[in-house]
Amino acid sequence: TKWVYGFGGGSADGDASMKNLLGGKGANLAEMSSLGLPVPPGFTITTEACVHYYSNGQTYPDGLQAQVAEGLKTVERVVGKTFGDASNPLLVSVRSGARASMPGMMDTVLNLGLNDATVEGLAKLSGDRRFAFDSYRRFITMYSSVVLGMSHDDFEEVLDDHKDRLGVTVDTDLKAADWEKVVVEYKAVVERELGRPFPQDPHEQLWGAVSAVFASWMNDRAKFYRRMHDIPESWGTAVNVQSMVFGNMGETSATGVAFTRNPSTGEARLYGEFLINAQGEDVVAGIRTPQSLTRAGREEMGETAPSMEEAMPEVFAQFVDVVGKLETHYRDMQDIEFTVEQGRLWMLQTRNGKRTAKSALKIAVDLAAEGVISQEEAISRVEPSALDQLLHPTLDPNATRNVVAAGLPASPGAATGKVCFDADEAERLNQLGDAVILVREETSPEDIHGMHAARGIVTARGGMTSHAAVVARGMGRPCVSGAGEIHIDEKAQTFTARGRVFKAGEVITIDGSRGEVLDGAVAMIEPELTGDFQTLMAWADKVRRLRVRANAETPLDAKTARGFGAEGIGLCRTEHMFFDEERISAVREMILADDEQGRRAALAKIEPFQKSDFVELFTIMAGLPVTVRLLDPPLHEFIPHSDEDLDALAASSGLDAAKLKKRARELQETNPMLGHRGCRLGVAYPEIYEMQVRAVLEAAIAVKQASGTAPIPEIMHPLVALGLEMKFLRELTDRTAKAVFEAAGDSVEYLVGTMIELPRAALRAGDLAEHAEFFSFGTNDLTQTTFGISRDDSGRFLQAYMDKGIFETDPFVRLDQEGVGDLIRIAAERGGAVRPDIKMGICGEHGGDPASIAFCEQVGLAYVSCSPYRVPIARLAAAQAAL
């Protein structure tokens, strides 16, 4: 087996298509080499080697060692230096690189190959002793923390002591002799902590770093990141070993990160940051705040230090040429890392850049307009769930802005929450339902769970490409980075900005689009969806086959859904229409009534609400189908529990309190989700469903007469399992309709159908189709009943299943295509056999999940129905599924 693929010197063993084997970084380094771009030579150890490592008790495959030695020899030949050679040493970087990019989640070691002898060689070669020993001490720190398991703090202390003794504050004030002393002490620290000396053998160093990179595939942050982004653990990571180039060899050296277009806004202009006389990690880690690449960028940010365009115009021109080639070649916005070593440009990485939803839309639409990609490709370029970011509020421009600190607009959007300084605490507060803003000096990848739990993130240090910025953008969290005015006192749990002290728990607002931190809560406005969004959505609407409806029952939700392009309502949960106080007591009366007469009295109170609600809903959804799901109240959600509530109900209804209490006790169920709910209520008490059918159809006639457009009501019966149940409900519905139409002297078209929520309903769909004109898959209950897992209690153990890899995703979020999916396929087939024109859709939560939508497309459903904010996501996902 070939485990090692070389690149550099104008050729490569691999290419960009080999991401699965070489990881994204390795594949693109190979591709760039073959394109003749300046890439420091190196080799990639394949992801298969990593997979082998984990499936064989953490051992390397046979042949790997020999192939690595061979790879090193080739690199030595191309570079003209030798690994471990005291007079002419080759130094390498060792980096992770999985199939999908996981920025900062795994480990990297730079300057590898340095030891007491080669550092002298490096000093001679570079003519810069200070540089050589600075590199050596960086290597000791990095290697010791990544490979040897030590802490950065062990070394920071030594360095701080040194600086104190010399009376200096910044690293750049240290001279060659100072670094030499620091190195001696660093090595002593290692020996003291670990009981053995810092490894001097470069080959031992190399294998230590390789296994550390493999090990970092399984660290907690990598696992968390994979879960969040649905990246399978089985992929493994590749390892890239590459000859070092140095951005820290004086004023003609630099290192930086660039995007060929703006990753926040999508603007088609080179965008990025660099640092003169620095090593790559300095930019990404957010330790120094970098400068803009272009003059325009610098002017926009109001920076004083010269841009790369101004500081090194010749290399900059070459760079612009190279990145232009890369974008043309990859036909997408590129995220690029580069280094300039003494005036010479080197490309270290290119990949399709991560971007905000706004930027993704603009770039896709622009590239299609530029003729680089087709409209279909543009559709497939935007991650549907990322649209979520665009659908959320931004700050009201007219609101008073009490700005307490300014920083960089690292990730757009606005958020309000309580100040929190710790990632674990942010996660804890979020679980308690608190909105928090995570405020940190700088975030490290260890904070990722806290960033996820927070509504927004503020960092005091770091640039636009710091981890905080990149990760926040990926998650769609607003972020302000590099807010240098903020001074955090972790011990006191406060931060100070512009003379004001903020305690943990105080409310602030951040504006990630402007890079500002504001005092208190600030008014927000709903986003306007115009421009690129509308353009791409229009393209998507042209290609999709699936219709998209919304689950909505309030006028507000219905209007929101229409605004997002819903083509009707796929699920109006009528029990949700009774959640306000006056109504709920009428519903409670109805449920608690102990005879038909009592029930009818309560129903008479409810009917006018129902009718006027439907009038509103039908008016908003003029001419579009509206599926009204008849009452399905799991009783425990509706019966008052406490004596106080029951007394209050007695007082408001004039019923006898003692009787009510007795009845409430009688109605208590052991398994309410499998109890007297759904159509079982309609079968036992037909007057309830009769009232609802009447309200629906009378409202429809009223709207038809008032507007001239007839609504299209679809009356849906929940939780049906049997053909005879459906027959009974169909007859009830038609009989009631007939009476309504006769009384009104007018009529409307309507459909009668059922939800498929029980395995028996799916298996015997043919029986149901005899009487049902449509099926709507209620995949919430269908998942619950197929697995026998309670919707309400699954949270207690699902995580354990996901941690153990038994469930990859929560089946209530992503449809279980095998089991529940089989039932859907069976129902579609058996229902269709009996009634060929039967209309089928899905209305469980899965209707808004892109992967589940792809399944619905496969099965040939007519529509998906999802919550209003998911409608645009569903439209795009449906289009992608159709391509």
Positions annotated as catalytic residues are: 467, 843
Residue 329: which of ligand PEP, Mg ion, none does it interact with, CB under 5 to 8 A by kind?
A: none
What CA–CA distance (Å, rounded) separates 54 from 234?
9
Residue 573: which of Mg ion, ligand PEP, none does it interact with, CB under 5 to 8 A by kind?
A: ligand PEP
What CA–CA distance (Å, rounded) separates 617 from 611?
10
Single-letter amino acid, residue 678: G
Q: Count CB neighbours of 598 within 10 A.
A: 17
By CB under 6 A, residue 844 contacts ligand PEP? yes
Q: Considering only residues 445, 565, 625, 778, which one is a binding residue for Mg ion as defined by CB under 5 A?
A: 778
CA-closest candidate to residue 779, choices 831, 808, 815, 822: 815
For 49, residues 6+ apart whose C-beta sits below 8 A from its C-beta are: 3, 60, 61, 64, 236, 238, 239
CA-closest candidate to residue 418, choices 392, 452, 468, 454: 454
Taking the complex as a whole, the smallest distance from the CB of residue 678 to Mg ion amounts, in Å, to 7
Q: Considering only residues 781, 816, 845, 849, which one is a binding residue for Mg ion as defined by CB under 5 A?
A: 781
- Mask 525-564, x = binds ligand PEP (CB under 6 A)? ----------------------------------------
Taking the complex as a whole, the smallest distance from the CB of residue 781 to Mg ion amounts, in Å, to 4
Q: In terms of DSSP H, where are the helices of 277-374?
A: 280-284, 295-301, 308-311, 313-330, 357-369
Would you say 199 or 844 has its CB closer to ligand PEP? 844
Total residues contacting ligand PEP by CB under 6 A comes to 10
Taking the complex as a whole, the smallest distance from the CB of residue 861 to ligand PEP amounts, in Å, to 14
DSSP labels, 477-500: --EEE--TT-EEETTTTEEEETTE
What CA–CA distance (Å, rounded) separates 289 from 269?
21
- Cα-flanking dihedrals φ and ψ of residue 410, to 5°? -80, -30
| Binding to ligand PEP in span 573-632, by CB under 6 A | 573, 632
Residue 33: which of ligand PEP, Mg ion, none does it interact with, CB under 5 to 8 A by kind?
A: none
> Length of the chain, please?
883
Taking the complex as a whole, the smallest distance from the CB of residue 672 to Mg ion amounts, in Å, to 13
Contact, 882 vs 544, CB < 8 A? yes
Long-range contacts of 431-435 (CB under 8 A, 24+ apart): none
Sign of CA dihedral 845, 846, 849, 850: negative
- SS3 label, residue 708: coil
Taking the complex as a whole, the smallest distance from the CB of residue 744 to Mg ion amounts, in Å, to 32
Contact, 236 vs 106, CB < 8 A? no
Taking the complex as a whole, the smallest distance from the CB of residue 840 to Mg ion amounts, in Å, to 16
Would you say 360 or 679 has its CB closer to Mg ion? 679
Sign of CA dihedral 654, 655, 656, 662: negative
CA angle 785, 791, 796 (to 5 degrees): 120
Residue 124: which of Mg ion, ligand PEP, none does it interact with, CB under 5 to 8 A by kind?
A: none
Would you say 466 or 785 has its CB closer to ligand PEP? 785
What CA–CA distance (Å, rounded) separates 426 from 861?
41
By CB under 6 A, residue 571 contacts ligand PEP? yes
| Binding to ligand PEP in span 632-651, by CB under 6 A | 632
Residue 779: which of ligand PEP, Mg ion, none does it interact with, CB under 5 to 8 A by kind?
A: ligand PEP
Largest CA distance in the chain: 103
What CA–CA distance (Å, rounded) separates 536 from 139?
48
| Binding to Mg ion in span 14-33, by CB under 5 A | none
Contact, 444 vs 467, CB < 8 A? yes
Would you say 619 or 780 has its CB closer to ligand PEP? 780
Taking the complex as a whole, the smallest distance from the CB of residue 609 to Mg ion amounts, in Å, to 22
Residue 496: which of ligand PEP, Mg ion, none does it interact with, CB under 5 to 8 A by kind?
A: none
Taking the complex as a whole, the smallest distance from the CB of residue 682 to ligand PEP amounts, in Å, to 15
Taking the complex as a whole, the smallest distance from the CB of residue 687 to ligand PEP amounts, in Å, to 22
What CA–CA distance (Å, rounded) separates 264 from 44?
31
Taking the complex as a whole, the smallest distance from the CB of residue 779 to Mg ion amounts, in Å, to 9
Token code pair at residue 707:
């507007």
- SS3 label, residue 460: coil
Residue 570: which of ligand PEP, Mg ion, none does it interact with, CB under 5 to 8 A by kind?
A: none
Q: Count CB neighbours of 505 within 10 A.
A: 12
What CA–CA distance (Å, rounded) separates 13 from 4?
9
Which residue's Cβ lies closest to Mg ion?
781
Total residues contacting Mg ion by CB under 5 A comes to 3
For 822, residues 6+ apart whose C-beta sits below 8 A from its C-beta are: none
Residue 212: which of ligand PEP, Mg ion, none does it interact with, CB under 5 to 8 A by kind?
A: none
Taking the complex as a whole, the smallest distance from the CB of residue 777 to Mg ion amounts, in Å, to 10
Would you say 401 or 680 has its CB closer to ligand PEP? 680
The gap between the terminal CA atoms of the chain, to the nearest Å, is 37
Q: In terms of DSSP H, where are the helices of 708-756?
A: 723-744
Would you say 349 or 610 has its CB closer to ligand PEP? 610
Residue 844: which of ligand PEP, Mg ion, none does it interact with, CB under 5 to 8 A by kind?
A: ligand PEP
Token code pair at residue 808:
């990859």
Sign of CA dihedral 64, 70, 75, 76: positive
Would you say 426 or 571 has its CB closer to ligand PEP? 571
Would you say 535 or 867 has its CB closer to ligand PEP? 867
Q: Considering only residues 159, 602, 691, 843, which one is a binding residue for ligand PEP as defined by CB under 6 A?
A: 843
Sign of CA dihedral 811, 816, 820, 824: positive
CA angle 478, 483, 484 (to 5 degrees): 165
CA-closest candidate to residue 439, choices 356, 517, 515: 517
For 1, residues 6+ apart whose C-beta sits below 8 A from its C-beta are: 48, 61, 63
Single-letter amino acid, residue 740: V
| Binding to ligand PEP in span 752-781, by CB under 6 A | 757, 778-781
By CB under 6 A, residue 672 contacts ligand PEP? no
Taking the complex as a whole, the smallest distance from the CB of residue 720 to ligand PEP amounts, in Å, to 12
| Binding to Mg ion in span 737-776, by CB under 5 A | 757
Would you say 767 or 781 has its CB closer to Mg ion? 781
Would you say 476 or 678 has its CB closer to Mg ion? 678
Would you say 8 or 718 has its CB closer to ligand PEP? 718
Taking the complex as a whole, the smallest distance from the CB of residue 632 to Mg ion amounts, in Å, to 6
DSSP labels, 402-417: -EEEE-EEEE-SEEEE
Would you say 242 or 776 has its CB closer to ligand PEP? 776
HEC sequence for 190-246 = HHHHHCCCCCCCHHHHHHHHHHHHHHHCCCHHHHHHHHHHCCCHHHCEEEEEEECCC
By CB under 6 A, residue 380 contacts ligand PEP? no
Would you say 510 or 571 has its CB closer to Mg ion? 571
Residue 843: which of Mg ion, ligand PEP, none does it interact with, CB under 5 to 8 A by kind?
A: ligand PEP
Residues near ligand PEP (CB under 6 A) are: 571, 573, 632, 757, 778-781, 843-844
Residues near Mg ion (CB under 5 A) are: 757, 778, 781
